[in-house]
Amino acid sequence: MTQLNHIATPATTTSLLAQDCLTLQNTAATIPLLGFGTYKIRGQTCTTAVLAALSAGYSHIDSAALYRNEVCVYEAIKQSGVPREAIFLTTKVGSPRRMAGQGDVYQDVVETVDRIAGVDGYVDLLLMHVPGPSRDYRQRLWAAMEMVKSKGRAKSIGVSNFRVRHLEELKEYATEWPPSANQIELHPWCQQRDVVTYCQDNGIVIEAYSPLATGTRLNDPEVQRVASKHDKTPANILIRYSLQKGWIPLPKSANPGRIQENIMVFDFALDPDDMMALDALDEGHAGAIFRMNVDKPHATSRNNDLEANLVRQLRNTRMAIL
């Protein structure tokens, strides 16, 4: 297994291998370059999809409490026969209960890990799913995550959907900084360049959710042109683009054929002209699928309102699970 620096360089982007990993800060853990996402895949469909992904060669599985499929992922890993230590497992924690004490917040995080890893298990990466509505929210949840890591239930901790201002604030109260990773929406139409640059400058691994833009842009003429040039599918091109940007893409599918197709991205490379053409597609906030998690230029208080709505959704999800 090859370990790479956290930022891809021209020397590595043309010779990436499926078994390559990036080094995570503040831990001995390494993270595979390509992950399998499970958003909106539930029940037996989720278990079957994760089994198909592991069979196809994925070793990195991403879930979240909000997805309501952590138990299904756990069952798939047990059924797969793949040794647990050969799998990189990520989950994301939701909202602390309203008015919950620090002990209750900690217990909520432990229960999230229990669901996906078993009561004696661990996750390789534990992420705060959203910045939430307030500093107090972030501070309490991060403290609980640090404690979970100290107990050996998480090998590394990080964040998701954090913008630069949230990452800067985290410095003020975190015992462990920088976070190991920041998982954000990334694809050619939503490149979040300020966040990406900040993460790269501070050694924070960047994970790209929705690297296929939920399939809504696969017919883009520029993507089609590059796909034809390399005799690859549009999905292959978008995943390879993420890899060469130094991001860890998390494509998701419940279709076994597409699951296999999406991992076939290590036998070709995009040239500089391809990368420039795809870079030019950036639409900023307007190109995002999940716009509540992406800042407009000069972030407004409306973003905080949208984050609060997502926190309420996470809290309701937790109550449904219990």
Provide the pLDDT for residue 103: 79
Residue 317 has pLDDT above 60, yes or no: no
77-130 tens-digit pLDDT:
999 999 999 999 999 998 666 667 777 899 999 999 999 999 999 999 999 999
Residues 36, 50: contact at Cβ < 8 Å? Answer: yes
Domains and CATH numbers, the chain: 3-321 (3.20.20.100)
Mean pLDDT, range 170-181, rounded to an integer: 97
Provide the pLDDT for residue 28: 87
Using pLDDT thresholds of 50, 70 and 90, give the confidence band for residue 9: very low
* Percent of the chain with pLDDT strictly greater than 70: 86
CA–CA dist 254, 308 (Å, integer): 30
Query: 89-103, 149-163, 271-285: which range is least confident on average?
Result: 89-103
3-state secondary structure at position 156? coil
Q: Catalytic residue at 74?
A: no
All residues at 6 or more sequence positions from 84 whose CB lies less than 8 Å from its CB, including other chains? 77, 121
What pTM does this model have? 0.89
Q: What does the chain come to in residues?
A: 322
CA–CA dist 129, 134 (Å, integer): 14
Q: Is 298 annotated as a binding residue?
A: no
Active-site residue, selected from the candidate residues 58, 67, 74, 209: 67
User: What dihedral angle (degrees, nearest 10) is formed by the CA atoms of 45, 46, 50, 53?
Assistant: 60
State the chain's mean pLDDT as an integer. 90
Question: Which carries the bigger pLDDT value, residue 231 or residue 311?
Answer: 231
CB atoms within 10 A of CB 296: 13
